Amino acid sequence: MTLVNYEIGWKQTWNEGRATSNAAVFFIDWNNTQVVIPGSVCNIVGFPVNAGAVESRGVELEAQALLFKNPRVGMNLAYIDSEVAGALTTSPNVAPIAVRGDLLPGIPEWSGSLTWDFSPEWTRSFGGYFRGVLSYRDDTVVAIGNDANLADSYTLPNLRLGAVVRDGWDVAVYVNNAFDERPSLTGPISLDPEPNAFRNEETTLPPRTIGISVSKSFN
């Protein structure tokens, strides 16, 4: 596999370092990229092939800012267009598995996140924090050459509220996947070899999880 990456970027610091921003535009030209295509048994037995030429182009943006003494907020946003640049075949005598313009599996067109970190210091030896991350991932193609079978898009919020003391103890309450999103990350996968059977399985995110964590750091 060979890869040539062209990238133009920009970085800027604002307000005496209290805010930063980064941006980049890129184009990637891959040759002999290896991808996995579905097999003919149950649609779950795949095999790797060289996808020939693949092109990927996109834009990435990132920014962070400290608002007064607190909080620190941030964001990042990415747009990526990855596609096959030529017909993909496993044999000269069979129809192509993918043609020019077919999307690559597992690469979202849009993704991004928002972050929030509020960390006040109440006394010289005791402080707290409230942190949140809201991330988004666009739907993605599950298998090359099948743009109709998509893994779902999802929005994932994770929250954490904690207290810290100067001797290294950290106690926090957290909520992961606060919206209890259950997207299909693989699309339906048939697990039954019988032609008239319809038993499917899918993978998804872990469910909403609420917990308490206690940690101690040693310097």
Q: Residue 117 in contact with residue 75, Cβ under 8 Å?
A: no
How many angstroms separate the CA atoms of 152 and 161, rounded?
A: 29
Residue (of 182, 152, 153, 199) closest to 44 by Cα position:
199
Going from N- to C-terminal start, the domains of the chain cover 2-216
Digit-by-digit pLDDT tens for the chain (219 residues) are: 678 889 999 999 988 888 999 999 999 988 777 666 655 444 444 556 665 678 899 999 999 999 877 789 999 999 999 888 876 666 666 666 777 788 888 889 999 999 999 988 777 778 899 999 999 999 998 877 666 678 899 999 999 999 998 778 999 999 999 999 999 887 655 555 555 555 556 789 999 999 999 998 887
Q: Does domain 2-216 have CATH number 2.40.170.20?
A: yes
Q: Residue 84 in contact with residue 100, Cβ under 8 Å?
A: yes
Among the residues of the chain, which ranges form H helices? none
Q: What pTM did the predictor assign?
A: 0.79
Instruction: Decide the pairing of beta strands 200-201 and 189-190.
Output: antiparallel
The Cα diameter of the chain in Å comes to 75
How many angstroms separate the CA atoms of 136 and 154, rounded?
A: 6
For 125, the token pair is 């030896």
Residue (of 126, 4, 99) closest to 57 by Cα position:
4
